[in-house]
Amino acid sequence: MRLAQHMAIASDKVRAVAIEATEFPELSRRYQVMAVPKIVMNEHVQFEGALPEPQFLDAVVRAASGDGSR
C-alpha cells in the first residue's frame, strides 16, 4: 500500500485504496483474492505480492495506458 499511497500523493491521476479483504468477502471474490497483498489497477492490471518501485511504476503506466498484458 505504501508505494500506491505515495504515488497518489505524487500524482492527481492516481488513487490508492487499501481494502481489508476479510471484511469485504464479496469484493475479494470479485477480484479473486487468493493471496495478499493483491493489487488491482484499473480492473485489468493485477498481481500478487510486493514489487520494487520501478516495476510497480511500470504496472501503473500500463494501467493508465489501458494495457492489460502482464
Residues that bind another protein (CB under 8 A): 1-24, 27-28, 31, 33, 36-42, 53-54, 57, 60-61, 63-66
Specify the residue, 8 or 69, whose C-beta has the smaller distance to another protein.
8
CB of 65 to another protein, least distance (A): 5
CB of 69 to another protein, least distance (A): 16
46 three-class SS: strand
**Distance of alpha carbon 34 from alpha carbon 65, whole angstroms:** 26
Spatial CA neighbour of 41 closest among 59, 65, 20, 19? 59
